[in-house]
């Protein structure tokens, strides 16, 4: 099966290289039938006109799964490359209707959490479901600045969008083991329904959907309270469902509790397609130095294989990754001095 691979910018090609090596080894040693088709798409190639949006979307529609490295290069901010890269990221999510952004917040074995009381594997293990097709970010292609005096963006929440994302969250909760604390399965609806009507509507639709899931507890929390909860009681969480921008912000917070952005992986999922990528960006401050942590890229690959029905292979990836980390191999963000290539070689050796 062909999979579209987007190499991105900054550390993108470095961490994608790690993922491709692992896919190739799974092919050679265990017969995984995945053929990565690489596309050199990122702010740089968008800036020089090699790719345009429609062309990328036409290509993307040929695939069931996309593996994506981070895109964006602040150096190209004035020439437009980075704006175009953001257009590509958002267009892939919006135009391909990848409405569920699934972002696990999981303390992997061998990784340290800065939250001292939760410092053992699986004491933090929940998933943020970020609505990915509407919310405030849907204003990206429509915001308005008037006479350099006033700027307006609109938040869109639809019944259809909220129903399907709520259903997605409850269906996911069904498949989990519940919260680390007591194994209870729950979905928390995160919003600011006290302040904005659009959020009150979000909450109302969520509540309607929840009545169809007796076996799962439906909970409600305001986004600011959730930010605190994720730090002081992360073990009580199982599944969170929230609006686009809240999901974006809260998932970086979640990442910090499980070792940093290098460990935050994700899937953007529709009813028939999936795009898998790290939560983090192209990390221009460390690009080109072979020191990026490729874990998020590798875990995104594992998530993709699992979603495609190759769960056996994703288990091989995770076991060998965890073994490498447990044996003490650490990139600088984890407090060690392993290079990206050394880290990757250690995983390959463990396979
Ligand atoms: P960033 O996530 O690239 O970096 C934030 C900090 O985390 C930096 O200090 C960086 O070195 C560190 N970091 C991130 N990933 C790491 C890894 N794998 N290993 C070790 N350290 C890591 O966020 P920033 O700087 O705000 O954005 C840089 C560019 O990436 C921008 O152009 C932005 O638009 C783009 N971006 C793209 C995303 C995507 O393609 N989905 C998502 C987020 C940002
Ligand atoms: Mg983000």
Ligand 1 atom 12 nearest Cα: 283
CA angle 183, 306, 123 (to 5 degrees): 30
Closest CA relative to residue 233, chosen from 206, 257, 199: 257
* Ligand 1 neighbourhood includes 70 CB (under 6 angstroms): yes
Closest listed ligand to the CA of 69: 1
| Contact between 278 and 70 (Cβ < 8 Å) | yes
| Contact between 313 and 26 (Cβ < 8 Å) | yes
**Strand pairing class (35-39; 2-6):** parallel
Predicted local distance difference test score (pLDDT) of residue 122: 83
Predicted local distance difference test score (pLDDT) of residue 333: 95
Residue 301: pLDDT above 90?
yes
Q: What is the mean pLDDT of the chain?
A: 95
Average pLDDT over residues 124-131: 98
* Ligand 1 neighbourhood includes 286 CB (under 6 angstroms): yes
Strand residues in 48-120 grouped as ranges (E): 65-68, 100-106
Produce one character per residue of 295-309: b if its CB has 16 or more CB atoms within 10 Å, e if not: bbbbbbbbbbbbbbe
Residue 130: pLDDT above 90?
yes
Q: 1-98+270-351 has which CATH code?
A: 3.40.718.10
What's the length of the chain? 351
Min mean pLDDT across 47-51, 157-161, 280-284 is at: 47-51
Ligand 1 atom 38 nearest Cα: 281
Residue 51: pLDDT above 90?
no
pLDDT band at 50 (very low <50, low <70, confident <90, very high): confident
Asked if this assembly's ipTM is beyond 0.90, the reply is yes
* Atom number in ligand 1 closest to CA 252: 2
Quote the pTM value: 0.95
pLDDT band at 1 (very low <50, low <70, confident <90, very high): very high
Q: Which of the listed residues 281, 291, 321 should we mutate to test ligand 1's pocket, taking the one with most ligand atoms within 8 A of CB? A: 281
Domain ranges of the chain: 1-98+270-351, 102-264
* Token digits of residue 193: 């329904």
Q: What is the pLDDT of residues 290-300, one digit of tens each?
A: 999 999 999 99
d(C-alpha 307, C-alpha 291), whole Å: 29
- The CA 130 to ligand 2 mean position distance, Å, reads 11
* Ligand 1 neighbourhood includes 297 CB (under 6 angstroms): no
Helix 81-95 and helix 53-60, axial crossing angle in degrees, nearest 10: 40
* Atom number in ligand 1 closest to CA 283: 3
pLDDT exceeding 90 applies to what percent of the chain?
A: 87
d(C-alpha 240, C-alpha 179), whole Å: 11
Q: What is the pLDDT of residues 62-119, one digit of tens each?
A: 999 999 999 998 888 777 888 888 888 888 988 999 999 999 999 999 999 999 999 8
* Ligand 1 neighbourhood includes 42 CB (under 6 angstroms): no
* Ligand 1 neighbourhood includes 238 CB (under 6 angstroms): no
| Contact between 123 and 257 (Cβ < 8 Å) | no
d(C-alpha 101, C-alpha 2), whole Å: 22
Residue 123: pLDDT above 90?
yes
d(C-alpha 106, C-alpha 299), whole Å: 11
* Ligand 1 neighbourhood includes 333 CB (under 6 angstroms): yes
Instruction: For domain 102-264, give the fold.
Output: Isopropylmalate Dehydrogenase (3.40.718)
């Amino acid at each position: 099966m062909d999979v579209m691979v987007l190499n991105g910018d900054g550390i993108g090609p470095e961490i994608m290289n790690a993922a491709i090596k692992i896919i190739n080894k799974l092919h050679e040693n265990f017969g995984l039938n995945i053929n990565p088709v690489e596309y050199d798409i990122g702010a740089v190639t968008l800036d020089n006109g090699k790719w345009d949006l429609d062309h990328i979307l036409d290509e993307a529609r040929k695939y069931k799964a996309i593996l994506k490295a981070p895109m964006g290069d602040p150096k190209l901010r004035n020439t437009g490359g980075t704006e175009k890269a953001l257009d590509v990221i958002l267009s892939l999510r919006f135009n391909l209707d990848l409405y569920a952004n699934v972002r696990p917040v999981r303390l992997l074995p061998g990784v340290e959490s800065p939250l001292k009381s939760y410092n053992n594997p699986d004491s933090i293990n929940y998933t943020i479901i970020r609505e990915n097709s509407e919310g405030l970010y849907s204003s990206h292609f429509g915001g308005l600045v008037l006479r350099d005096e006033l700027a307006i963006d609109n938040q869109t929440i639809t019944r259809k969008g909220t129903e399907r994302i709520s259903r997605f969250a409850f269906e996911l909760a069904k498949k989990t083991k519940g919260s680390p604390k007591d194994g209870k399965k729950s979905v928390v609806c995160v919003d600011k329904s006290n302040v904005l009507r659009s959020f009150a509507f979000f909450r109302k639709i969520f509540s309607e959907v929840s009545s169809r899931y007796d076996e799962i507890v439906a909970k409600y929390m305001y986004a600011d309270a959730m930010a605190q909860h994720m730090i002081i009681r992360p073990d009580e969480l199982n599944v969170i469902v929230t609006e686009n921008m809240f999901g974006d912000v809260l998932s970086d917070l979640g990442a910090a509790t499980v070792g940093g952005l290098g460990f935050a992986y994700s899937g953007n999922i529709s009813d028939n397609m999936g795009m898998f990528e790290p939560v983090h960006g192209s990390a221009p401050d460390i690009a080109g130095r072979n020191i990026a942590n490729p874990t998020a890229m590798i875990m995104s690959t594992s998530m993709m294989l699992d979603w495609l029905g190759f769960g056996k292979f994703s288990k091989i990836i995770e076991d060998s990754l965890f073994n490498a980390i447990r044996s003490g191999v650490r990139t600088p963000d984890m407090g060690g001095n392993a290079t990206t290539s050394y880290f990757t070689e250690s995983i390959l050796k463990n396979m």
